[in-house]
Amino acid sequence: MKIITTKNLSKEYSSKSFSKEKILALNNFSFEVESGEIFGILGPNGAGKTTLIKILLGITHRTNGDIKIFEKEISDESYKMKIGYLPENHKFPNYLTGEQVLYFFGKLSGLTGTEVKKRADEYLGLMDMQKWRKTKIKKYSKGMMQRLGLAQSLLNNPELVFLDEPTDGVDPIGRKEIRDILNNLKSQGKTIFLNSHLLSEVELICDRVAILNKGSLVKEGKVGEITSASNNYKFITSEISEKNINDLLINFKAVIHSRNEFVYNTINIEDLNKLIDFLRENKILIHSVNREKDTLENMFINLIESQN
Amino acid sequence: MIFLTLLYSTFKEAFEKKIVLTIFLLITAVILLFLSFINLDSIEGLKEMLMMSGDESFRDAIVKFETNLINQFSFMVVFSLLLIMSASFIPSILEKGNIDLLLSKPLSRRKIVLGKFISVVFLAFIIISLLVSVIWFIISIKTNVWHFPFLSAILWFTFIFAVMYSFELFIGLVSQSTILSLLLTLFLLFPVTALLSARETIVFSFVKNDTIKFIFNFVFYLFPKPWDVRESCINMIEGVAIQSWWHMISSGIFMLVMLSVSVYYFSKKDY
């Protein structure tokens, strides 16, 4: 089942108030998110990621295009009963305690007082926030605010969760815990729509990603496919003489990192063996050969640089 | 359900930000001051004086005393305090990070605006009720004159507040600024509507130009009329028949227009 479907989604902003000059924040953006997957949205600053999330949530209005969430047009507000949202830099009223924040937003999500209390207990426990529940949130650290925000977004037991930078300000242990929670949600069949600058994190937890640049979709696919193995082979060897380094540079076009480390790029396995033969003939000992994997970060940087 | 939740958040915000506490302290100070003026000796003295003059009953004098309490100065002070109290409610929900969360919840934008409006007016109603009923009770206990129409000031004042707050809410939505919405609303209350209300007695004695007179009259009919509604309130307390309900109706229309424009603006705005 398709949880989110957009077709030719566009958003234009006026560059200044009362100005006719328009900025295209989203340009004919079409994509789909399947039920039960963790979908990541990537892009440089100003690419239109947050605008996209805000349009999907009805916080910002689209200029053109179709959006369906749970197979219904989003003009029908009822879909919001089944979603959770953690905005980037969320701001809860700072005179409330953690417990009161959950009560307020839980009630606005349509939960009864008993349901809010039960789920607040559950999620504050899950986020390791029980002992802070009666403390005013103005005393919370950034990490604690993120945990509380995540608890708030899950309180109504949503089928679809939008998370905008969920691990922002959270320490590495906390990040690992949040990743575990997200994987747990996935195992429960929930769909997660994630926007994060931490590409290594996206790579670890997302099933599929879409890359946005200047409001347009530039790449979309499964993380495993996007980050497929590259044709770079990294060699670590014994020390290589000056003459042999020149041969590597001229005859094999290798990229030399140091006297005992270089990278060779080839799609032909015979060429790779020729290089190994060359090393052996010249009494250069091979300590290791590793085929490099193209990380999401490398792929992302290369893609955006080529676009710009 | 949604209204109750918004009411909860409004009351929580008002109490936690010490706004209501400050207003309560000011009201208590006014009441204590009032108590110190009204002691039994002065009441007895007033009684004797009236009996000597003979042309006015004691009850009428007490009613006159009550309506004198709603003079222009105390009217200004009470409404300034109420408008100061209410100015931050809309800009605070529009803060980035907060409004995103609110709009992602399953409630329409119309409900958010109207829910907040009703919550704040209800809060003002409680404060006005406290102020008016305590003063009425003290006067009644001290004089043994239980003049119930004085309590109608609670509803009149709440209505005037609702009208002025609809304007403050609209400016708050558009400007997202507490200070600007407060200043413009206070400016509308005094001098704008005060001058418009007194245009025939004060302004037109200086201005002879018909075009300017026409503009003043036109703006008068366009804007709310808190000072004229106050006069109607005094008439009702004194038991004088209210000649025209036009001031009430046109102020009510102003409030409905302000609320409709606010809902429309909020529904179209991108956050």
Collapsing DSSP states into helix, strand and coil, what is residue A138? helix
pLDDT at residue A223, as a whole number:
86
Distance from CA of A126 to the nearest CA of B (A): 21
Mean pLDDT of A128-146: 91
pLDDT at residue B55, as a whole number:
52
pLDDT tens-digit readout, A162-172 = 999 888 878 88
Mean pLDDT of A139-148: 90
At residue A111 the predicted structure's pLDDT band, cuts being 50, 70 and 90, is very high
At residue B36 the predicted structure's pLDDT band, cuts being 50, 70 and 90, is confident
Using a CB-CB cut-off of 8 Å, the residues of chain A touching B102 are: 108
pLDDT at residue B225, as a whole number:
95
Distance from CA of B117 to the nearest CA of A (A): 17
Write out the CATH class of domain A229-307.
Answer: alpha beta
Measured in residues, chain B has a length of 271
Distance from CA of B81 to the nearest CA of A (A): 22
The reply to whether residue A57 touches residue B104, judged by beta carbons under 8 angstroms, is yes
The pLDDT mean for chain A works out to: 90
Domain spans, chain B: 2-268
pLDDT tens-digit readout, B218-253 = 999 999 999 999 999 999 999 998 888 999 999 999
Read off φ and ψ for residue A144, nearest 5 degrees: -65, -40
Q: Which helix (H) or strand (E) holds A150?
A: helix A142-154
At residue B40 the predicted structure's pLDDT band, cuts being 50, 70 and 90, is low
Judged against a pLDDT cut of 70, whether residue B56 lies above it is answered with no
Distance from CA of B25 to the nearest CA of A (A): 21
Distance from CA of B90 to the nearest CA of A (A): 13
Give the chain B residue nearest A161 (alpha carbons). B104
A222 forms beta bridges with A208
Which residues contact residue A80 at a Cβ distance below 8 angstroms, ignoring those fewer than 6 apart? A57, A58, A109, B104, B105, B106
Collapsing DSSP states into helix, strand and coil, what is residue A24? strand
pLDDT at residue B142, as a whole number:
83
pLDDT higher for B27 or B217? Answer: B217
Its ipTM equals: 0.82
CATH architecture of A2-226: 3-Layer(aba) Sandwich (3.40)
By the CB < 8 Å criterion, does A18 face chain B?
no
3-state secondary structure chain B: CHHHHHHHHHHHHHHHCCHHHHHHHHHHHHHHHHHHHCCHHHHHHHHHHHHHHCCCCHHHHHHHHHHHHCCHHHHHHHHHHHHHHHCCHHHHHCCCCCHHHHHCCCCCHHHHHHHHHHHHHHHHHHHHHHHHHHHHHHHHHHHCCCCHHHHHHHHHHHHHHHHHHHHHHHHHHHHCCHHHHHHHHHHHHHHHHHHHHCHHHHHHHHCCCHHHHHHHHHHHHHCCCHHHHHHHHHHHHHCCCCCCCHHHHHHHHHHHHHHHHHHHHHHHCCC
Mean pLDDT of A39-55: 92
Q: Chain A to chain B, count of Cβ pairs less than 8 Å apart? A: 79
Judged against a pLDDT cut of 70, whether residue B169 lies above it is answered with yes
Torsion of CA A67, A71, A75, A79, to 10 degrees: -120
Of A35-49, A87-101, A110-124, A167-181, the one with minimum mean pLDDT is A167-181
Judged against a pLDDT cut of 90, whether residue B211 lies above it is answered with yes
Mean pLDDT of A251-259: 92
The reply to whether residue B98 touches residue A109, judged by beta carbons under 8 angstroms, is no
At residue A250 the predicted structure's pLDDT band, cuts being 50, 70 and 90, is very high
pLDDT higher for B184 or B32? Answer: B184
Give the chain A residue nearest B7 (alpha carbons). A104
Identity of residue A146: Q
Mean pLDDT of B177-195: 95
The reply to whether residue A87 touches residue B97, judged by beta carbons under 8 angstroms, is yes
Mean pLDDT of B43-71: 74
pLDDT higher for B258 or A227? Answer: B258
Chain B neighbours among A 132-161 (CB < 8 Å)? 152
Mean pLDDT of A268-290: 94
Residue of B12, B15, B104, B265 best to disrupt the A interface, most CBs of A under 10 A: B104
At residue A155 the predicted structure's pLDDT band, cuts being 50, 70 and 90, is very high
pLDDT at residue B175, as a whole number:
97
The reply to whether residue A54 touches residue B271, judged by beta carbons under 8 angstroms, is yes
Residue of A76, A107, A160, A168 best to disrupt the B interface, most CBs of B under 10 A: A107
Using a CB-CB cut-off of 8 Å, the residues of chain A touching B108 are: 77
DSSP state of A128: T
By the CB < 8 Å criterion, does A54 face chain B?
yes
At residue B99 the predicted structure's pLDDT band, cuts being 50, 70 and 90, is very high
Of A105-119, A223-237, B177-191, the one with minimum mean pLDDT is A223-237
Portions of chain A given CATH number 3.30.70 = 229-307
pLDDT at residue A142, as a whole number:
86
Q: Confirm if B192 and B223 have CB atoms less than 8 A apart.
A: yes
Mean pLDDT of B133-149: 90
Structure tokens at B110: 């119309």
Judged against a pLDDT cut of 80, whether residue B41 lies above it is answered with no
By the CB < 8 Å criterion, does A236 face chain B?
no
At residue B88 the predicted structure's pLDDT band, cuts being 50, 70 and 90, is very high
Using a CB-CB cut-off of 8 Å, the residues of chain B touching A13 are: 270
Mean pLDDT of A243-271: 92
Model's pTM, two decimal places?
A: 0.85
Portions of chain A given CATH number 3.40.50.300 = 2-226
The reply to whether residue A90 touches residue B268, judged by beta carbons under 8 angstroms, is no
Give the chain A residue nearest B14 (alpha carbons). A95
Examine residue B191 and say whether the peptide bond preceding it is cis (omega within 30 degrees of 0).
yes
pLDDT at residue B38, as a whole number:
67
